[in-house]
Amino acid sequence: MRVIEFREALREAMSEEMRKDPTIFLMGEEVAEYNGAYKVSKGMLAEFGPKRVIDTPIAELGFAGIGVGAASNGLRPIIEFMTFNFSLVAIDQVINSAAKMYSMSGGQYNVPIVFRGPTASAGMLSSQHSQAFENWYANCPGLKVVVPSNGYDAKGLLKSAIRDNDPVVFMESEQMYGDKMEVPEEEYYIPLGVADIKRAGTDVTIVSFGKIMKVAMAAAQELEKEGISVEVVDLRTVRPIDYYTVINSVKKTNRLVVVEEAWPLASISREIAYKVQKDAFDYLDAPVKAVTTADTPLPYAPTLIDASLPNAARVIKAVKEVMYR
Amino acid sequence: MAKAADKKQKFSKEQYLKWYESMLLMRKFEEKTGQVYVQQKIKGFCHLYIGQEAIVAGTVSATRKEDKHITAYRDHAHPIGLGLHPKYVMAEMYAKITGCSKGKGGSMHIFSKEHNFVGGHGIVGGQVPLGAGIAFAEKYLGTENVCVCSMGDGAVRQGALHEAFNMAMTWKLPVIFVIENNMYAMGTSVERTSNVHDLWKLGLAYDMPSKPVDGLTVEAVHEAMEEAVARARRGDGPTLLEMKTYRYKGHSMSDAQTYRTKEEVKEYQEQDPILKVLATLQANKWIDDKGIEEIESRVKALVDESVQFAEESPYPEPHELYEDVYSEPNYPFIKD
Ligand SMILES: Cc1ncc(C[n+]2csc(CCOP(=O)(O)OP(=O)(O)O)c2C)c(N)n1
Ligand SMILES: [Mg+2]
């Protein structure tokens, strides 16, 4: 099978859908003439023209709101945030407009829109440029939140997100755009809200999602050498969460570690821990552990980044703790 | 000729020498920053000020040391112009504990409270209301100080700026808004972002005194700033100055610059703000070759010292992660 980069998988998802449906357009900073800050939309202006691939000023609140308005009036916008750090400038329109319009109009106005871009840390960028907001958006009813962990999933999930009739927040990573993977040439869709078992195992379950799945997989591989069989569940969507797959895995392994790049308080990890203790209490052989980013802004210095972000060593330690090893 | 004579009266030899040395230091510091970035001594996003030095130099000469300054992430030159030893900026970019922000901020978040430099902000336009707020505090506290709040041309399209302009003008806050218009926001030229290409005109919507300034000429910057500062100090409120300038280098260290021509860059390099100051010094015979060499060697020594200091300093210890997050000493962080 052919191998393509994560960014190309995203581009194919958008382009395939745009070829089929003329109401879909892409809007954001540097998406058109510059071919994308991270080259995700490379060549799309050439194919679709300036009516459908639109450069904006640095005005996130305005263009997010324009997207929501357009979505309520017959179009299907894809709004790119250069990174989700900057989506905070626009968050009023995402939360107060996109997520509310269908409900507060009593079902008259749905908002088929995708807000997409990279989330979380991406090297030494300091605290304003290193934030993981997946749980923030997931907290808000009315939104769906997708966080793919590889190019194959990203393509199928983004195609479903674009076709979805509700607002979808689709969160990528600068540190995945260059990742290469086999992706079929034929079209395919991956449904939102369905987790994927990325690695089967019997001793312990690790639940994760997005870029940090790499850490979970690396830890699982290391642990295998020590004779610990890890099942890795990739949530792929954090709203809704596929609790069914998570609980089933825990019923099999009886132990759970959740790995996530957000801050700990009110994180997806802690949410899952609640659900698992409630629905699978009798199956647990140890308390659930969460590995998250430290409870501080992420500074610039590498020594502090090392002390903060989840890494394989920290995940391995947590797994051993839940295994009492 | 008459013009040159006027200038002679307005600014002294000492002023020109100061401008020259300070601008040269900014330039050489940034050139060195670019070099060590390529060697991967500095990481992350890094935005150089090369070409724009006259704005900081003319601002510093027209303000007092009690005045406050704030800007975006293109922030190495401002604190150096304000008198922060460049070694603390270099060490910050090297992520060392001796950096002015203890290695926690990096290139985009240079701060120096001692020099009244309030950063170093990474969200485009985010510092504009902050600048107005700093001025609000000065007015509230009854000082005579002003705040110089700088931003790029890209920032003027942010809603926060318009909200802040309106309130700053309504409440007559002592703030000078400075647009460092280097013609591009990343790869997007000013023309592509609006019908309003004369950015100073944005202030007129709020009845704010506003004007364009030749930002490549330090005297012009100084004069415009002096007038704006006087207005703010006498309680007449904000001014918007659009400094027309140019950045010689890419937006950040990773920018292929496909959006502009080499000829355009060259055209601006020919009007170099530092060479203009030097030309005035030479035309007035205020400096000879020996004098130039002395300045160059002082600047070089400072830059070399900065790199050495940064190289030799240690990284922050891991416990620093939990420091400077809250002022409260024993804040109960979630650690497990
Ligand atoms: C709210 C927000 N959106 C996007 C970005 C990404 N970004 C960083 S710099 C920049 C361009 C800003 O250009 P300008 O204001 O002209 O300043 P210059 O870099 O030219 O000094 C962009 C889009 C950001 N930092 N913040
Ligand atoms: Mg600019």
Q: Delimit the domains of chain B by residue range.
A: 49-82+107-251
B154 in ligand 1 pocket by Cβ < 6 Å? yes
Query: From the CA of A52, how many Å to the nearest CA of chain B?
Result: 16
From A38, A34, A50, A40, select the one nearest A15 (Cα to Cα). A40
CATH number of this structure's domain B49-82+107-251, picked from the four choices 3.10.310.30, 3.40.50.970, 3.30.70.20, 3.40.50.720: 3.40.50.970
pLDDT the model gives residue A309: 98
DSSP A106-170: TTS-----EEEEE-S--SS--GGG----HHHHHTSTT-EEE--SSHHHHHHHHHHHHH-SS-EEE
B122 in ligand 1 pocket by Cβ < 6 Å? yes
| A269-281 average pLDDT score | 98
Task: Tell me whether B260 touches chain A (CB under 8 Å).
Answer: no
| B17-23 average pLDDT score | 98
Taking an 8 Å cut-off on Cβ atoms, the answer to whether B333 and A85 are in contact is no
Give me ligand 2 centre to Cα B93, in Å: 22
| CATH 3.40.50.920-classified regions of chain A | 196-323
pLDDT at B2 over 80: no
B153 in ligand 1 pocket by Cβ < 6 Å? yes
pLDDT the model gives residue B254: 86
| CATH 3.40.50.970-classified regions of chain A | 3-182
Give the other-Cβ count within 10 Å of A106's Cβ.
Answer: 7
Residue from A38, A61, A82 whose mutation best tests the ligand 1 pocket (most atoms within 8 A of CB): A82
pLDDT digits (tens, 9 = 90+) for A88-129: 999 999 999 999 999 999 999 999 999 999 999 999 999 999
* Preferred mutation among A33, A81, A258, A303 to probe B, highest tally of B CBs within 10 A: A303
Tokens of A72: 């309520």
Which helix (H) or strand (E) is B159 found in, with range?
Answer: helix B159-170
Residue nearest to atom 11 of ligand 1 (CA): B185
| A12-31 average pLDDT score | 98
Q: Which residue numbers of A have CB closer than 8 Å to B's CBs? A: 29-30, 33-34, 37, 55, 57-59, 61-62, 85-86, 88-89, 123-129, 264-265, 294-297, 299-304, 306-308
* Residue in A closest to B96 by C-alpha: A301
pLDDT the model gives residue B80: 98
Contact indicator for A188, A97 with CB cutoff of 8 Å: no
Q: What is the DSSP letter of B70?
A: E
Spatial distance between the Cα atoms of A69 and B219, rounded to a whole number of angstroms:
48
pLDDT at B313 over 90: yes
Tokens of B146: 């002003």
Contact indicator for A205, A233 with CB cutoff of 8 Å: yes
Spatial distance between the Cα atoms of A145 and A156, rounded to a whole number of angstroms:
14
* Residue in A closest to B109 by C-alpha: A126
pLDDT at B3 over 60: no
B215 in ligand 1 pocket by Cβ < 6 Å? no
Tokens of A90: 């626009």
Spatial distance between the Cα atoms of A180 and A2, rounded to a whole number of angstroms:
10
* More confident of the two residues A117 and B256: A117
Give me ligand 1 centre to Cα B330, in Å: 36
DSSP B240-305: EEEEE---SS-SSSS---TTS-HHHHHHHHTT-HHHHHHHHHHHTT---HHHHHHHHHHHHHHHHH
* Preferred mutation among A304, A305, A308, A309 to probe B, highest tally of B CBs within 10 A: A304
Contact indicator for A111, A71 with CB cutoff of 8 Å: yes
Catalytic positions of A: 60, 129
* Residue in A closest to B152 by C-alpha: A58
Spatial distance between the Cα atoms of A21 and A76, rounded to a whole number of angstroms:
9
Confidence of residue B175 (pLDDT cuts 50, 70, 90): very high
Task: Tell me whether B315 touches chain A (CB under 8 Å).
Answer: yes
Radius of gyration of chain B (CA): 20
Confidence of residue B1 (pLDDT cuts 50, 70, 90): very low
Taking an 8 Å cut-off on Cβ atoms, the answer to whether B95 and A300 are in contact is yes
Spatial distance between the Cα atoms of A113 and A268, rounded to a whole number of angstroms:
23
Query: From the CA of A187, how many Å to the nearest CA of chain B?
Result: 33
* Residue in A closest to B43 by C-alpha: A124
Tokens of A74: 């017959």
- State the complex-level ipTM: 0.97
Average of per-residue pLDDT values in chain B: 96
pLDDT at B136 over 60: yes
CATH topology of domain A196-323: Rossmann fold (3.40.50)
Give me ligand 1 centre to Cα A17, in Å: 30
Give me ligand 1 centre to Cα B152, in Å: 7
pLDDT at B4 over 60: no
Q: Which residue has the tokens 């002390």?
A: A307
Evaluate the CA torsion angle A163, A164, A165, A169 in order and state its sign: negative
pLDDT digits (tens, 9 = 90+) for B270-287: 999 999 999 999 999 999
Evaluate the CA torsion angle B192, B195, B196, B197 in order and state its sign: positive
Radius of gyration of chain A (CA): 20
Taking an 8 Å cut-off on Cβ atoms, the answer to whether A123 and B43 are in contact is yes
CB-hemisphere CA count at 13 Å for B206?
22
Determine if the pTM surpasses 0.90.
Answer: yes
Contacts of A205 (CB under 8 A, 6+ apart): A230, A231, A232, A233, A246, A249, A250, A252, A253, A255, A256, A257
Q: What are the backbone dihedrals phi and psi of residue A183, each rounded to the nearest 5 degrees, phi first?
A: -135, 125
3-class state of residue A265 by DSSP: coil
Tokens of B237: 């409120």
CB-hemisphere CA count at 13 Å for A156?
19
Tokens of A200: 């089967």
pLDDT at B290 over 90: yes
Return the ligand number nearest the Cα of B157. 1
Amino acid at A55: D
Spatial distance between the Cα atoms of B109 and A86, rounded to a whole number of angstroms:
17
Spatial distance between the Cα atoms of A274 and B296, rounded to a whole number of angstroms:
65
Spatial distance between the Cα atoms of B255 and B41, rounded to a whole number of angstroms:
19
Spatial distance between the Cα atoms of A88 and A115, rounded to a whole number of angstroms:
12
pLDDT the model gives residue B8: 53
Taking an 8 Å cut-off on Cβ atoms, the answer to whether A128 and B109 are in contact is yes
What sections of A132-289 are H helices per DSSP? Answer: 134-138, 151-163, 213-225, 243-253, 268-279
Q: How far is CA B240 from CA A23, A50, A283, B70, B185, in A?
A: 41, 33, 66, 15, 19
pLDDT digits (tens, 9 = 90+) for A143-202: 999 999 999 999 999 999 999 999 999 999 999 999 999 999 999 999 999 999 999 999
Average of per-residue pLDDT values in chain A: 98
Confidence of residue B9 (pLDDT cuts 50, 70, 90): low
Residues of chain B contacting A32 with CB distance shorter than 8 Å: none
CATH number of this structure's domain A3-182, picked from the four choices 3.40.50.970, 1.10.3720.10, 1.10.287.3510, 2.40.10.120: 3.40.50.970
pLDDT at B29 over 70: yes
Bridge partners (DSSP) listed for residue B241: B178, B211
Bridge partners (DSSP) listed for residue A76: A24
pLDDT at B182 over 70: yes
Task: Tell me whether B139 touches chain A (CB under 8 Å).
Answer: no
Give me ligand 1 centre to Cα B123, in Å: 7
Confidence of residue B336 (pLDDT cuts 50, 70, 90): confident
Q: Which atom of ligand 1 is nearest to the CA of B154?
A: 15
